Amino acid sequence: MVPASHDWRLVPAAGVVWGAAFLGLLVHWAAAAAVGVVAVGVAATVIARGRGGGVHAAWPLLAAGVLAVVPVAERVRGAGGDPLRAMAAAEVDVVIRIEVAERPRPIRSAGYAGTPAGVRSVVIAARAVPTPAVPSGGVVVVFAPAERWGRLLPGQQATAQARLAPAPSGDLTVATVNVRGPPSDVDEPGAAQRIAGGLRAGLRETAAAVLGPEAAGLLPALVVGDTDGLPPGVRADFDTAGMTHLLAVSGANLAIVGFFALFLLRLLRAGPWTASGGAAAAMVGFVVLAGPEPSVLRAAVMGVIGLLALALGREKSTLPALAVAVVGLVAVDPAMAVSFGFVLSVLATTGLVLIAPRWAVALQRRRVPPGIAEALAVPAAAHLVTAPVVAGMSGQVSLVAVVANLVAAPVVAPATVLGVVAALVAPVWSGAAEVLVAVAGPETEWLIAVADHAAAVPGAAVPWPDGWWGGLAAAAAACVLVLAVRLPRTRALVALGLVGALLVVIPVRVVLPGWPPDGWAAVFCDVGQGDGAVLATAEPGTVVVVDTGPEPGPLVECLDRLDVTRVAAVVLSHLHADHIGGLPAVLDRWPPGAVVVGPGRQPDWAWDRVRDTAEGTPVVELTAGRRLAWPGLTIDVLHPKGGDAETEDADGSAINNASLVLLARTGAGRVLLTGDIELTAQADLVASGADLAAEVVKVPHHGSRFSDPAFMAAVRPRLAVVSVGARNRYGHPNPGTLAALARIGARTARTDAGGDVAVLPGPVLVSRGPP
């Protein structure tokens, strides 16, 4: 079957309404009005002439022009003058009542000191409920503690004491609401939302009981966009591999569910009406499962259109239906024009309408069974058209995305369908739900493996401007490339350019990027507000890692850049969160011979996490006087003594002072690694008479003010490295500490300013470049 031609006459109308809202929100409301006026003028001119087929497209264009002025431009102008916007500009404290519009989204915070990494806050899309104190019904974004606010469901109203702040630009949001306390006067959620919340919770619990942590976090994300339990490392891999679109609810999700329901009913020889009704019921069930909130309902509209294109063979009518849906949805809510979720839904549906049927036919011609052909075509087409938006969302262009998504495509649809059915049956038959989740397990593990291997490819992703303008730039580049390939005169030029990129640009960027520098002996990785050091041995690719930073991603990326093949040991200076957060990722990728710790066992949660993470890896305790040795590297432990195990204290000073202090003898000289020791431990080290002299020192505690001049005088470093996070809220590094280093003649490098810092023979410090 050859896919039908498409009716494009309503597409200009959709472009006018969408473009007006887009420019109105990102530029000025007058730009939206101008687009509408121009569209009305063009349409009126064509209608007045009354000739040609253009008249049929002119009437919808005329209507779209009117809608671009009212309501689109008018809504944008009204949001700009909302009274809550003026209150937010003054940053006043208010008692505000809000109505939740979408599920609260968790904000994951990096761990620091005794506070573990995790979700402590949520962000909520909401609308203000007019009251005498706050006479506004405008759109607001709420930042609130996760403990009770995270349990709210769309449609619920709650009152909060909050401080207002100016809203981010580029949408209809009129204020940012920063909440510190719990919600009050919370009303009951609607029945649909209670059912949806219960189904999602059932899916999470079933997945957690049957699957491993990574797969259990991915399945709800894949099925209903619930990323609450998705490990950060998996999310980072999906970003790098260009597979982020799989983690958001889009029209593709609903089309997959509807199509498979239709396919199964057809296998059972159901009639057209029964099959169509069953497919519609399956999609309604998905909407209930994902939660009937605006983003899901938008995806449902797109999914219905995609289902028409894929399953009912009405491709000619689906493009006009898509255009009408865009016009209606953006006219009702102009903010959709700049919503990444809405754009992903529209583009994914466009791929289903324009590309997937042709790809399915092409696969069938190559003797691929129809069901399998369509299952492959759907996610592949969705990826192709959503790639520019994903680039704008993630701030990078994945060079492995096409291959990664093609390899992942065969399991996306089965995993989605199995997860949906498991969620729906879990409340009534938990055993069947567990079986379904277990069957979906290999598919989710496959997706994780694909993302992991794709992200591990050197140069898998290159930086790209983020935000909407970055996404538009990526789309423009893709269009230029496609057009150039289709034109015979430029096809050879494009081929030569791609060959040149393969032979010159990519090798320079990926194979020979200038990092790491030859002969490096130690590298202090840019892991944010934390520590992560890598010491080279004489065996190429084999290193010792000292501390792992607050989160897994940055240290793994640093080790990948260093072409590490084996980690001989992981040394944890102490058990604060900004030193142990990346341990699971390191142990997963490079299982070490041992995890080395000091005598400290606080905080309790951190010690439990280290032991659980290490599992079969030996955990070795070292104290002052012990030595570790590898070819080309020796490490002497200078502190603490065996009896110096700390007790937990309010500010973490005792834990800091029990840090392992290591003197590493490397190919570039002596490097002193000081953990987070403060004044007490520094004074004890000086008083002990230990030989502290080193050419390079890792400045204690991220360059905090707790630095003893006598300690630095005893070290006499030529070079100093401050491992610190950009724009941290602790004031690190302290200006006084930096000035003291300058007075003793030490040249200082900072990871927040220079990125990874390498120590080379000489010794000299070389920074990779700003993060």
In 640-771, beta strands by DSSP E: 661-666, 669-673, 696-698, 719-722, 747-750, 757-760, 764-767
Higher local confidence (pLDDT), 690 or 313: 690
Whether 513 shows a pLDDT value over 60: the answer reads no
Bond into 603 cis (ω within 30): yes
- For 655-659, the CB contacts below 8 A with 24+ separation are 655/113, 655/114, 655/574, 655/575, 655/576, 655/600, 655/602, 655/603, 656/574, 656/576, 656/681, 656/701, 657/681, 658/574, 658/598, 658/599, 658/600, 659/573, 659/574, 659/598, 659/600
Q: Tell me: the pLDDT tens digits for 145-172?
A: 988 998 898 889 999 999 999 988 778 9
pLDDT for res 484: 64
**Mean per-residue pLDDT, 327-353:** 81
Contact 727, 755 (CB under 8 A): no
pLDDT (tens digit per residue) in 93-111: 999 999 998 888 888 777 7
Q: Is-contact 74 80, C-beta < 8 A?
A: no
Lowest mean pLDDT among 72-86, 191-205, 342-356: 342-356
Using 50, 70 and 90 to split pLDDT, how confident is the model at 443? very high
Collapsed DSSP state (helix, strand, coil) of residue 501: helix
CB 410 within 8 A of CB 374: no
Contacts of 599 (CB under 8 A, 6+ apart): 621, 623, 640, 642, 643, 644, 645, 658
> Would you tell me how many other CB atoms lie within 10 Å of the CB of residue 606?
24
pLDDT digits (tens, 9 = 90+) for 349-360: 777 777 777 888
pLDDT of residue 51: 62
**What is the 8-class DSSP label of residue 643?**
T
Higher-confidence residue: 666 or 310?
666
Of 64-73, 488-497, 514-523, which gets the smallest average pLDDT? Answer: 488-497
Query: Which of 431-440, 549-558, 670-679 has the weakest average pLDDT?
Result: 549-558
- Interval 717-741 mean pLDDT: 92
What pLDDT does residue 512 have? Answer: 42
Q: Which two tokens stand for residue 43?
A: 């349409």
- Does residue 487 have a pLDDT over 90? no
pLDDT band for 368, please (50, 70, 90 cuts). Answer: confident
Helix, strand, coil shares of the chain as percentages rounded to 5?
55, 15, 30
Greatest CA span in the chain, whole angstroms?
Answer: 98
> pLDDT value at position 703?
93
Report the mean per-residue pLDDT for the chain.
Answer: 84
Of the candidates 613, 639, 611, the residue with the CA atom closest to the CA atom of residue 625: 639
pTM to 2 decimal places: 0.73
Task: Give residue 522's pLDDT.
Answer: 96
pLDDT band at 658, cuts 50/70/90?
very high
Q: Sign of dihedral through CA atoms 267, 272, 278, 282?
A: positive
Cα–Cα distance list, 526 to 591, 598, 693, 769 (Å): 22, 24, 25, 10
Checking if the pLDDT of 425 tops 70, the result is: yes
Closest to 553 in 3D by CA, of 184, 336, 327, 233: 233
Secondary structure letter of residue 112 according to DSSP: B
Strand order in the sheet with 627-630: 627-630, 633-639, 661-666, 669-673, 696-698, 719-722, 747-750
pLDDT at residue 380 is higher than 80? no
Closest-CA residue to 142 (of 158, 155, 126): 126
* Structure-block tokens of residue 551: 């989160």
Question: Looking up tokens 């990574």, which residue turns up?
Answer: 214
Backbone angles phi, psi at 695, to 5 degrees: -70, -30
pLDDT tens profile 11-22? 889 999 999 999
d(CA 417, CA 258) in angstroms, rounded, equals 9
Q: Confidence band (pLDDT; 50, 70, 90) for 651?
A: low
pLDDT at 379 over 80: no
pLDDT value, residue 508 = 46
Q: What is the mean pLDDT of residues 1-14?
A: 69
Confidence of residue 643 (pLDDT cuts 50, 70, 90): low
Closest CA to 723 of 747, 744, 703, 694: 703
Average pLDDT over residues 227-256: 79
pLDDT reported for residue 341: 74
Token readout for 469 is 């303008």
- CA nearest 128: which of 98, 163, 93, 170? 98
Q: Report CA Rg, the chain.
A: 29
Q: How confident is the model at residue 308, as a pLDDT? A: 63
For the segment 292-320, the average pLDDT, to the nearest whole number, is: 65
- Residue 156 or residue 264, greater confidence: 156
So what's the pLDDT on residue 2?
Answer: 44
Distances (CA, A) of 95 to 161, 178, 376: 5, 11, 52
Higher pLDDT among residues 747 and 459, named by residue: 747
Q: At residue 557, does pLDDT exceed 60?
A: yes
**Residue with the two structure tokens 């900004």:** 578
Q: Give the ranges where 669-734 is alpha helix by DSSP (H).
A: 679-688, 709-715
pLDDT in tens, 685-705: 999 989 999 999 999 999 999
| Position 510 pLDDT exceeds 50 | no
Question: Is 227 a residue whose pLDDT tops 50?
Answer: yes
Taking CA atoms, 153 is separated from 291, 546, 769, in Å, by 9, 43, 44
Residue 1 pLDDT grade (very low, low, confident, very high; cuts 50, 70, 90):
very low
Q: Please give the pLDDT value at position 449.
A: 92
